[in-house]
């Protein structure tokens, strides 16, 4: 009995020591994820607070995913929800309500950006005829005759009349357009339309006269136009794909046939949506994201449209993540992406 009493006393002493050690070390690893830190730590405990904060950060970035909605009220309960998708603009949402909240913020951001763009003043550009006359590529008589023919016909661009009527080479007209827009003249060599259909929906290429030419080193997209650039479309493609977009002009005689081949290629499916109000638009977009459960998705504005792209599965390669979707979208298969184009209208 004395031996048992001494052993019991030793066990009780070790238990008291372990309890004291746990009290100094703070909550257990699982509890640390939800431990509220005081605003100011007592002197001598700064190291303990730093270790707790680091542990919480590791739990958030590793085993447990944090809801991207800053106003999410589910707290730690979402850890037990059996969903790893959808992911919208680099963040996971724990519920349909949080998905709608994230979409609402994105829609408001894009619509406000559209309003600001509409307030920008039009950039003045030197007329094409003056550019060519200044460079000595045409005479004053040629310019006057081309302008007269254009006015009489009531149609056609000045460059077209200079080529048809005055015998000016198309290469000079394209060079002058490049100087007018301060952009390069892009070559059209080895253009593979089928390999580029995953970059931009067909509707945008047709409506805004754009032609994806090629992707260089998986980082740079060359986007061609016939007679004028579209910086709004170029910016939207850059934001959506993660590729840097270099816009330029292509000779009209080369652009037309290549553009027709591109439009006849097979594109990923597109769903067109028209909503009567901003809340209705948010509802439709959030519902589509919840139904598709994409591993990544993003919303950008293209003129008076909103373009939602959803990646339904992860392409090969470790570079594809929830915070980055610039995995060279031209390699996306027809079944791996889904596009929604929404009519915004007046707001």
CATH for 223: 3.30.300.160
Q: What pLDDT score does 103 carry? A: 96
Q: What is the pLDDT of residues 255-295, one digit of tens each?
A: 999 999 999 999 988 999 988 889 999 999 999 999 999 99
Q: What pLDDT score does 189 carry? A: 85
The size of the chain, in residues, is 347
Whether this model's pTM surpasses 0.85: no
Structural domain count of the chain: 3
Q: What is the pLDDT of residues 164-179, one digit of tens each?
A: 899 999 999 999 999 9
State how far the Cα of 32 lies from the Cα of 37, in Å rounded to an integer: 10
At 332, the pLDDT band (50, 70, 90 cuts) reads: very low
SS3 169: coil
Residues 306 and 247 in one domain: no
Residues 171 and 145 in one domain: yes
Q: What pLDDT score does 69 carry? A: 87
> Residue 31: CB partners within 8 Å, gap ≥ 6?
none
At 241, the pLDDT band (50, 70, 90 cuts) reads: very high
Q: Evaluate whether residue 17 is within a structural domain.
A: no
Domain that holds residue 144: 128-181
How many CA atoms are closer than 13 Å to the CA of 188, on its beta-carbon side?
A: 21
Q: Evaluate whether residue 26 is within a structural domain.
A: no
Please identify, among 209, 229, 263, the residue that sits at the C-terminal boundary of a domain.
Answer: 263
Please identify, among 263, 292, 307, the residue that sits at the C-terminal boundary of a domain.
Answer: 263
Lowest mean pLDDT among 32-41, 95-104, 191-200, 207-216: 32-41
């Amino acid at each position: 009995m004395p031996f048992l009493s001494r052993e019991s006393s030793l066990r009780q002493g070790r238990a008291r020591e372990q309890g004291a050690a746990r009290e100094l070390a703070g909550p257990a690893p699982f509890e640390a994820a939800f431990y509220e830190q005081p605003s100011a730590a007592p002197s001598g405990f700064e190291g303990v607070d730093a270790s707790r904060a680091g542990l919480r950060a590791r739990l958030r970035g590793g085993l447990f995913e944090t809801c991207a909605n800053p106003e999410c009220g589910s707290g730690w309960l979402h850890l037990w929800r059996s969903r790893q998708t959808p992911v919208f603009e680099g963040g996971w949402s724990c519920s349909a309500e949080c998905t709608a909240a994230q979409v609402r913020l994105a829609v408001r951001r894009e619509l406000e950006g559209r309003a600001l763009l509409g307030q920008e003043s039009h950039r003045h550009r030197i007329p094409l005829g003056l550019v060519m006359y200044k460079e000595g590529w045409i005479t004053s008589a040629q310019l006057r005759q081309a302008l007269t023919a254009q006015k009489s016909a009531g149609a056609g661009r000045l460059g077209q009349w200079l080529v048809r009527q005055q015998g000016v080479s198309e290469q000079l007209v394209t060079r002058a357009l490049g100087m007018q827009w301060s952009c390069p003249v892009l070559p059209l060599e080895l253009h593979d339309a089928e390999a580029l259909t995953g970059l931009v929906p067909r509707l945008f290429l047709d409506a805004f006269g754009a032609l994806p030419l090629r992707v260089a080193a998986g980082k740079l997209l060359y986007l061609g136009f016939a007679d004028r650039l579209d910086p709004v479309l170029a910016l939207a493609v850059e934001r959506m794909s993660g590729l840097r977009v270099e816009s330029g002009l292509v000779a009209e005689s080369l652009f037309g046939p290549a553009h027709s081949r591109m439009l006849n290629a097979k594109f990923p499916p597109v769903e067109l949506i028209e909503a009567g109000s901003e809340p209705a638009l948010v509802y439709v977009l959030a519902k589509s994201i919840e139904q598709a459960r994409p591993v990544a998705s993003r919303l950008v504005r293209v003129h008076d449209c909103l373009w939602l792209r959803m990646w339904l599965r992860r392409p090969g390669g470790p570079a594809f993540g929830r915070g980055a979707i610039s995995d060279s979208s031209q390699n996306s298969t027809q079944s791996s992406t889904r596009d929604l184009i929404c009519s915004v209208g007046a707001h």
